[in-house]
């Protein structure tokens, strides 16, 4: 036999390697071992066609503000890169500078500014993603008396205004106690922020494409008569690694698909108890069929018609490991997680569509690699 014998692992062995073991008090087999020279004789070198054939995407939900999908057949390093990029590297527009003309409300200038910064905004996609560019502060540029430098243009700065004054409502009913009815503008909401288009911005951000808060009902401050807030704001493009307000996602996370393997039959009352160890819908109860009962060594002999526990939908499992606390199930079930099945959940803050954020993260990683490929060439030169 030649020394370069090619070993092809069995399906069973591949499944074992691909499952993180979950025991009552510890986890096992957490590391991927599918790289060259780990298993003698096996070819685990990178092959894009092998990846293409093994990789699948499955959608569970695709709403503008929330998407959920599975990436199957991908490695944690790459899946994690996508997740990290979604959180920290996809640019969004947010309020960065606040110029306060007057603020007599009880909320302090700096606290108010911070609250304003965190409000998510939306607007015309073309304008946001291609027309608007980074704002880069240039050194030694002239500034006006407010300290605003002259490097602000329609393609890098968006101007907003918030001008509200609380007044008495003359029409309020006698004995009214609700400040919102008793006064005008007792509550300042995100919808009170006014977008001031400058230059070409009117072309990209008008009508339905105007820059407005994603949620108009965000409470910014509360006031009483004679108090007022008068300020203007500059919005810039930024990334989440600089400040969380620039992150396009509320959350972007993944979890591994739980794997529940019933090794020995769980029957009758035990089966019902077993199902109760899991969230609804994970474990189903089926009757043992005649064929199963007739089969020798199946463990179902003489149990025809009894209920048995079957795994219905492991995706709904929370991996609480409750079943491992009961001695009757301890030896009969194996819990784990699929190492290459990533269930992503992406919640957008509203400036991007959730699925677009993921696609952008993939494009971002590709662009990064492309840049460095060229840089490596430059480095060698």
Partner 1 sequence: MAPRSKTKTETPQGAGDEDAPMSDAPTSHQPTTEEVDESMADPDEDEAVPEAENEEDMLPEEVQRVRILPGSTEHAASFEFLEEGHTLGNALRFIINRNPDVELCAYAIPHPSEPKMNVRIQTFEGTTAIEALTKGLRDLQDICDVVTDKFVDARQEFASGVTA
Q: Is 378 near partner 1 (CB under 8 A)?
A: yes
Q: Is 62 near partner 1 (CB under 8 A)?
A: yes
| In the complex, minimum distance from the CB of residue 103 to partner 1, in angstroms, rounded to a whole number | 26
| In the complex, minimum distance from the CB of residue 348 to partner 1, in angstroms, rounded to a whole number | 15
Interface of this chain with partner 1, residues 180 to 219, rule: CB under 8 A? none
Q: Is 89 near partner 1 (CB under 8 A)?
A: yes
State the Cα torsion 142-147-153-155 to the nearest 10°: 140
Q: CB under 8 A: which stretch of 40-48, 106-114, 173-181, 311-319 binds partner 1?
A: 40-48
- Which among 269, 310, 307 is positioned nearest to 288, based on CA atoms? 307
| In the complex, minimum distance from the CB of residue 48 to partner 1, in angstroms, rounded to a whole number | 5
Q: Is 57 near partner 1 (CB under 8 A)?
A: yes
The residues, ordered by sequence, that sit 6+ positions from 355 with a Cβ below 8 Å of its Cβ are: 62, 67, 69, 346
Q: CB under 8 A: which stretch of 18-26, 79-87, 179-187, 271-279 binds partner 1?
A: 79-87
Single out the residue of 14, 24, 59, 196 in contact with partner 1 (rule: CB under 8 A).
Answer: 59
Q: Is 138 near partner 1 (CB under 8 A)?
A: yes
- HSE, side-chain direction, 13 A CA sphere, residue 290: 0
Interface of this chain with partner 1, residues 155 to 174, rule: CB under 8 A? 155-156
Contact 275, 284 (CB under 8 A): yes
- The C-alpha atoms of residue 16 and residue 33 are separated, in whole angstroms, by 11
* Cα diameter, the chain: 101
Question: By CB neighbour count within 10 A (0-12 exposed, 13-18 middle, 19+ buried), where does 134 fall?
Answer: exposed
DSSP characters over 80-128: HHHHHHHHHTS-EEEEEEEEEEEE-SSS-HHHHHHHHHT--EE--HHII
- The C-alpha atoms of residue 349 and residue 120 are separated, in whole angstroms, by 6
Interface of this chain with partner 1, residues 94 to 133, rule: CB under 8 A? 133
CA-to-CA dists, residue 52 to 151, 167, 171, 243, angstroms: 47, 65, 69, 36
| In the complex, minimum distance from the CB of residue 149 to partner 1, in angstroms, rounded to a whole number | 12
| In the complex, minimum distance from the CB of residue 28 to partner 1, in angstroms, rounded to a whole number | 21
Q: CB under 8 A: which stretch of 10-18, 112-120, 160-168, 234-242 binds partner 1?
A: 234-242
Give contact residues for partner 1 (rule: CB under 8 A): 35-37, 43-46, 48, 51-52, 55-59, 62, 69, 71, 74-75, 77-78, 80-82, 84-85, 88-89, 91, 133-134, 136-139, 153, 155-156, 237-239, 241-242, 246, 355, 358-359, 362-363, 365-366, 368-373, 375-380
């Amino acid at each position: 036999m030649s020394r370069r014998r090619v070993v092809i692992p069995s399906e069973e062995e591949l499944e074992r390697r691909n499952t993180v073991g979950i025991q009552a008090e510890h986890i096992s087999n957490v590391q991927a071992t599918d790289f060259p020279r780990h298993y003698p004789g096996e070819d685990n070198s990178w092959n894009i066609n092998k990846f293409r054939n093994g990789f699948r995407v499955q959608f569970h939900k695709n709403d503008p503000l929330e998407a959920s999908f599975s990436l199957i057949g991908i490695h944690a390093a790459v899946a994690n890169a996508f997740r990290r990029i979604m959180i920290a590297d996809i640019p969004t527009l947010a309020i960065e500078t606040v110029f306060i003309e007057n603020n007599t409300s009880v909320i302090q200038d700096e606290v108010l500014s911070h609250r304003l910064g965190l409000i998510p905004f939306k607007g015309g996609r073309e304008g946001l993603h291609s027309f608007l560019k980074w704002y880069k502060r240039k050194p030694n540029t002239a500034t006006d008396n407010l300290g605003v430098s002259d490097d602000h243009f329609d393609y890098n700065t968006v101007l907003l205004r918030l001008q509200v004054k609380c007044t008495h409502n003359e029409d309020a009913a006698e004995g009214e106690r609700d400040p919102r009815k008793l006064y005008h503008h007792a509550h300042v909401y995100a919808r009170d922020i006014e977008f001031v288009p400058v230059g070409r911005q009117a072309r990209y951000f008008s009508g339905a494409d105007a820059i407005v808060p994603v949620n108009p009902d965000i409470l910014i401050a509360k006031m009483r008569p004679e108090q007022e807030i008068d300020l203007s704001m500059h919005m810039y493009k930024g990334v989440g690694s600089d400040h969380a307000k620039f992150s396009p996602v509320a959350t972007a996370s993944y979890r591994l698909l739980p794997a529940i393997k019933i090794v020995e039959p769980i029957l009758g009352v035990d089966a019902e108890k077993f199902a109760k160890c899991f969230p609804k819908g994970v474990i189903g109860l089926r009757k043992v069929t005649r064929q199963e009962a007739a089969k020798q060594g199946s463990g179902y002999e003489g149990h025809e018609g009894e209920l048995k526990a079957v795994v219905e939908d492991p995706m709904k499992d929370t991996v609480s490991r409750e079943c491992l606390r009961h001695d009757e199930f301890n030896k009969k079930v194996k819990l784990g997680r699929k190492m290459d099945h990533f269930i992503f959940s992406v919640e957008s803050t509203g400036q991007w569509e959730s699925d677009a954020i993921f696609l952008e993260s993939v494009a971002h990683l590709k662009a990064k690699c492309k840049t460095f490929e060229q840089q490596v060439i430059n480095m060698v030169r």
